[in-house]
Amino acid sequence: MSYFFKTQTAVRVARFATTMCVLLMIVNAAHAQLRMVSYNTAGGPRASMDTVLEQIGLESVNGVAKPIDVLMLQEQASGASTTQDIVNILNTIYSGNPNAVYARATLDGGSSGSGSPGLIYNTQAVALELQQAIGTVSTSGQARQVMRYRLQPIGYDDDAEFYVYNSHMKAGSSSSDQNRRAVETSNIRLISNGHTAGTNFIYAGDFNMQSSAESAYQNLIAPGNGQGIDPINSPGQWNNNNAFRAVHTQSPISGSGTTADGLVRGGMDDRFDFQLISQGLNDGEGLAYIANSYHAFGNDGSQPLNGSITQSGGANATARAALQTASDHLPVVVDYQLPADMDVSVASVPSQVIVGASANVNVTVSNGANVVAAIGADELDFTVSGTGDLTGGGSGTDAALGGGQLRTLAIDTTTAGQKTGNAQVNSSSQAAVDATFSQPVAVDVLDHADASFADGTDTNFLQIDFGTVTQNTVVSPIDFDIHNREGTAGFTADLEAVLSSTTLGDTGVLMTDMASFDALEAGASLSFSALFDTSTLGEFSATYTLLTFDENLPGALQGDSLVLHLIGEVTVGVVPEPTSLLAMVGVLGLCYRRRVR
């Protein structure tokens, strides 16, 4: 006999509900790791259900206490009735908490009795993308359709999506019951084997199995892309076996028969409820099972076989008491880490530096996963590199809440010109958010300023000679220029200069208006003058020194000094007047004799 899965129309969440969820997604990214719970509520909900659900959220496991994110239910009368009632309970518990807003799946699967599976999810943590019913219900085969859901953590892309196969398998220990469970798990594997390797999925629900040797269980853990793995690796004969007290989930109520509320008694003696996970969730990468988080809520194994859950120490007394009256099953609670979330910050760099400067690009990479504890997200493995004129970088790892890692890229400043490249960061962490980052960087590298008394040559010494002039002669100023000679066109630093206070010689006679200045652009010049005071006789010289610098940029240096040397002489230069007529005659006679000759 062949078994086919009967796909009811792949139902996406109602248009209005989807719109509301999207709006909420925009407000909040996925809040911390995911807490997923499988719970057969035996119909209900009963009066103590609110206490159980609240206490699950308050329980600290591996340092994590948080509300339920995905609640996989069994024995639901319908989504619109019992499941919606539980949605209302959760939204009442977390009213005012923007990170816990609950909705439900809308598709009800077929059932031959005891209701059908359902799903509740925290809209601030995951989005429900697909709901589907698997298998055909019959009295000889599958007792209830398996509900298949696809969910995706908020803030992550579809690399982080996961599937849930939610089952309530046929109860009973007869060979017929076991065969019907085998039919159901075979139908599940027809679908799950079609997953690609590494797909994230969970087999959850009330399996009603007493031993891992049962064919139905072996179907679920058989090799293939749909292989399920027991996170706590506890195979064996679970029923009424003292060695498995810590994994028993049914029944929290001791005694025999049923309670007045219809709950099955019997005490803790069966492992009926499970979360089996895929290899993709068992590898510790990306979305993955958090080790040591799998447990039957309230059960630490200290209760006696067939004893009441109130005799265990796995939860506080309030929670244990509520577990007895909420259902005849314990919730199976498991935490899953989220993938890493790569955040990158590139520090600002100067727009201009000077040749030879140490110019770096500081890149900080951090794991921004929004978690309660570091264990709640995958580690971020990353590599920082540069392209073009950027070199260096390196790799590293940052845990969630780790504070970030600094890596440095160097900019090539050996020659002048515009230096460009990209600061690149890539993460190899599975399903990491924003795993690829690239930011352009551009820096202008300038040649050093070049001060000179001449434009065509590098002239650092200038001598101005006023010559010999007569006393009190008015001497015109002599002009001279100071240039900032351009190196690489468009990429030369501005020139700054400071007139040295150390001068030599006759600075009161030979003077200049040469003074300190800044921001003399490449290719430009400033004009100054040298002056000569001729009121005093003598030979004079004076020396002025101009200290030159690059503009104030990284890599700026002091350049060659410009030395201005001034010289000049002042003489009498006036012919004496004759003192007598005889002297005048003597002069004229001398002139006559010279003409005659």
The pLDDT averaged over each successive group of 10 residues in the chain (597 residues) is 34 33 36 91 95 98 96 98 98 96 97 96 98 96 97 96 98 97 98 97 98 98 98 98 98 94 96 98 97 98 97 96 97 98 97 97 96 94 98 96 96 98 98 97 98 97 98 97 97 98 96 97 98 97 98 97 98 59 38 32
DSSP string, 543-592: EEEEEEEE-SSTT--B-PPEEEEEEEEEE---PPPP-SHHHHHHHHHHHH
Whole-structure pTM value = 0.82
d(CA 442, CA 225): 48
HSE value, Cβ hemisphere, 13 Å, CA-based, for 275: 33
| pLDDT in the model for residue 32 | 73
pLDDT at 361: 98
Strand-pairing partners, residue 344, are 365
CA 545/CA 480 separation, integer angstroms: 14
Helices 49-58, 317-326: axis angle to 10 degrees equals 140
Q: Do 298 and 315 contact (CB within 8 A), yes or no?
A: yes
Label residues 334-365 b or e (16+ Cβ within 10 Å = b): bbbbbbbbbbbebeebeebbbbebebebebbb
Distance CA(391)–CA(175), nearest Å, equals 69
Query: Residue 44 has what pLDDT?
Result: 84
pLDDT of residue 8: 35
Give the domains, in start order, of the chain with CATH numbers: 15-337 (3.60.10.10), 342-446 (2.60.40.10), 451-571 (2.60.40.10)
Give the pLDDT confidence score for residue 573 in this predicted structure. Answer: 76
User: Residue 423: CB partners within 8 Å, gap ≥ 6?
Assistant: 346, 361, 363, 384, 386, 390, 409, 438, 439, 441
- C-alpha span between 39 and 206 (Å, rounded): 8
